[in-house]
Chains A and B, each alone.
Chain A
């Protein structure tokens, strides 16, 4: 049973560029959430997708957008990258319980 998978593992981008991160949820899970984890901090909630719609959103600017596909996989898009966007981006999927299961993350470095 595959867990949550994310791609790519690492990414280096230049300030002002755009980036797309991808996530496949755990088998049987239909809800995907995205988190940003800065160095030395806990993960911070960006948004959650369910039935291809954004269901909840944290305190992140509109530069952060997402999408969920019919197979429940999801993308996180960040436009006009800033140096402060450098972080570990985590995807988590959720089934019928409240527990969320995380992928290994994508390490984004903005130079």
Chain B
């Protein structure tokens, strides 16, 4: 039973346009959400996070939106750059839960020049 789902295995966008990566979750106890970026042969790199008490968090070109009623979050990258090409993982955890971070399967983003 997947608690964190990233239903799009891949996404391709043009340089300069917006990239939108989506993530759905089923566990209503999750209260903190994170996005990680992973290049081949490297570990995941923390990108941005959001607490369940907020609905938006912004950091430069990256914005994460949280819709708790829909159990949905999204990562927006504007403008997209070729260096953003990587696998993006959505992760969540619940304080006091039995697992630290629960990850989705990832979405491979390709930004074309």
Say whether chain A's binding surface is mostly helix, strand, loop, or mixed: strand
Complex contacts, B106 vs chain A, CB 8 Å: 42
Q: A56-B98, A58-B99, A99-B34 are in contact. Are A90 and B49 (CB under 8 A)?
A: no
Over the window 89-104 of chain B, the binary record of Cβ atoms lying under 8 Å from chain A Cβ atoms (1 yes, 0 no) is 1010100001111111
Complex contacts, B93 vs chain A, CB 8 Å: 98
B45 touches A102 (CB 8 A): yes
Please tell me if B105 contacts chain A, counting CB pairs below 8 Å: yes
Q: Which residue of A lies closest to B102 (CB)?
A: A45
For B36, B44, B104, which residue has the most chain A Cβ atoms within 10 angstroms?
B44
What separation, in Å, do the CA atoms of A33 and B44 have in the docked complex?
13
Q: Which residue of B lies closest to A47 (CB)?
A: B100
For the complex of A and B, the 8 pairs showing the least CB-CB separation, nearest first, are: A42-B103, A102-B43, A45-B99, A102-B44, A104-B43, A99-B46, A43-B103, A42-B105
A residues in contact (CB < 8 Å) with B: 4, 6, 33, 35, 40-45, 48, 56-58, 90, 92, 98-105
